[in-house]
Chains A and B, each alone.
Chain A
C-alpha cells in the first residue's frame, strides 16, 4: 500500500458513502474527515464482508435472486484496490431438504466466488447452509466450520453457531475458543466472525445464540475484540462492554429492524428500487491502533 493509507486513497479516488462505525475509541478521531493521528503504515489492510446470499431462494422478497451474487462479485472486483481477503459470514445458500439440490447450490456459489479477484476467501456457514445436515455439505465444498487464522497482526476467529440446529456453539467449541486465544497477549487485536449474533439482539426472532454469552465471557478478557456477523440482513451496531458487534447487510433481501414490525418477514421488494437495502461492507483495519473503519457499499444505487 506504500506510504499512503487506503483511507487516503479512497478519499483521493472520490469513493464516497463512507459510513463509520467502531467500538474502539481510538478510531473516533477519524470521524468527520479529520486527519489520521499517526503515519501511514504498511500494515494497514482491509477486507470485505459479504453475507446472506441465500443462493437458491425463490420468493417475492427478491424476484431477481440470481442477480445479486454476481453483482457483488463485480463490485468487489471493481474496488480500486483488492482487499486482502473476502469473508462470507454465512447463508451462502438458501436451505433445501434435498441434499443434491443443496450441493448444486453450493457448487454454483463456489463458481461465482471463484471469479473474485482477491488473494484469499474465508467462508463460513449459516443455518441455511448447515443446520439440516450439521454442516456435512458445507464442509465438502468450503472447508471447516470453525477455525482461526492470523493476518498482519490481527487474530481472526471463525465461530460456528449454526451447524447445531439449536443455534448454539456448544461446550467443545467454547473450550476450543479458550484454547485458541490462550497463547495470545491480552493486547492482541482479535476479530471474530459469526453468523448469528452472539448477544441477545432479539431472541423472539431467533436473533441470538443461546450460549453466546459464554463466548462473550471468554472474549471479554481481551480488550481489543470486534465481532462481525450476518443473519439479520441489515447493518446493525451494538456494544457488549468493550466488544463491538457489527451486522452486515444481506445480498438477497433485507429484514426489518429488530422489533419494528410484528414479524420478522422480509421487507417487501420495491420494483422502483431493486436491490434497495442490500449490500456489502469493507473494513479498513489498522492493527497498530487497533481500529476498524467500516464502509457500507450498497448493491444498487440508493437515492
Chain B
C-alpha cells in the first residue's frame, strides 16, 4: 500500500556525522521551510521542532510519519530512492487551518538540484 517504493531507512534520533541535516520548524499552520529539496540516493536527516503545540509530519507516499512535540527534536533519516514530488502534511489535528498545514519534498537527480531551501 502506501509503503510501496518507499524511501529507505527511517531512523529516529540517530547521529550520522557528515550527513546533511535539514531543519524544519512546525507551527500552526505552516512548516518552515515547506519545500525540501533532496537528491536521489543521498542520505539526509530531517530534524523538526514545534514552535507551539503538538503536530505531526506525515509523508504517506514515502512511508514517513513522526510526531513533532514542543520541547523535543524529532529526527528522521531518509535516503531518497525515487525521483518526484511528495506531499507532506500535519496529521495531528491542530486547529482551524490544520488542513492547510502541508508542504512538499522534491527529490531530484544529483546533477539537477539547484538551491537548497532546507539548510
| Contact B99 A206, beta carbon cutoff 8 Å | yes
Q: Which of B5-13, B18-26, B72-80, B86-94 contacts A (4 or more CB under 8 A)?
A: B86-94
Smallest beta-carbon distance A268→chain B, Å:
15
| Contact A264 B99, beta carbon cutoff 8 Å | yes
Smallest beta-carbon distance B39→chain A, Å:
22
> Chain B, 34-67, contact with A by CB distance < 8 Å: what is the 0/1 string?
0000000000000000000010101111000101
Cβ-based interface call for A224 (8 A): no
Interface residues of A in 155-173 (CB under 8 A from B): 162, 165-167
**Size band of the interface chain A makes with B:** 20 to 34
Cβ-based interface call for A300 (8 A): no
Interface residues of B in 66-119 (CB under 8 A from A): 67, 87-89, 91-96, 98-100, 102
| Contact A132 B91, beta carbon cutoff 8 Å | no
Complex Cα gap A277–B43 (Å)? 45
Complex Cα gap A49–B87 (Å)? 32
Which of chain A's residues have a CB closer than 8 A to the CB of B54? Answer: 165
Complex Cα gap A94–B96 (Å)? 8
Cβ-based interface call for A66 (8 A): no
Q: Which of A3-11, A16-24, A26-34, A197-205 contacts B (4 or more CB under 8 A)?
A: A197-205
Complex Cα gap A166–B66 (Å)? 11
Interface residues of A in 205-252 (CB under 8 A from B): 205-206, 208, 210
Which of chain B's residues have a CB closer than 8 A to the CB of A208? Answer: 60
Smallest beta-carbon distance B43→chain A, Å:
23
Interface residues of A in 93-132 (CB under 8 A from B): 94-97, 127-128, 131-132
Number of interface residues of B (CB under 8 A): 23
Cβ-based interface call for A152 (8 A): no
| Contact A127 B93, beta carbon cutoff 8 Å | yes
Complex Cα gap A263–B94 (Å)? 18
Which of chain B's residues have a CB closer than 8 A to the CB of A96? Answer: 96
| Contact B89 A205, beta carbon cutoff 8 Å | yes
| Contact A206 B96, beta carbon cutoff 8 Å | no
| Contact B2 A165, beta carbon cutoff 8 Å | no
Partner of B93 from A132, A200, A204, A205 at Cβ < 8 Å: A132
Of all chain B residues, the one with the shortest Cβ separation from A131 is B93
Please, could you name 24 A-B residue pairs with CB atoms under 8 Å apart, sorted by A?
A: A95-B95, A95-B96, A97-B95, A97-B96, A128-B96, A132-B93, A165-B54, A165-B94, A166-B67, A166-B92, A167-B93, A200-B1, A200-B2, A203-B58, A204-B59, A204-B60, A204-B61, A204-B89, A206-B58, A206-B91, A208-B60, A210-B65, A263-B100, A264-B99
Residues in chain A within 8 A of chain B (CB atoms) = 94-97, 127-128, 131-132, 162, 165-167, 200, 203-206, 208, 210, 263-265
Other than the given A200-B1, A200-B2, A263-B102, 6 more pairs (CB < 8 A) read: A95-B96, A128-B96, A132-B95, A165-B93, A206-B91, A264-B99
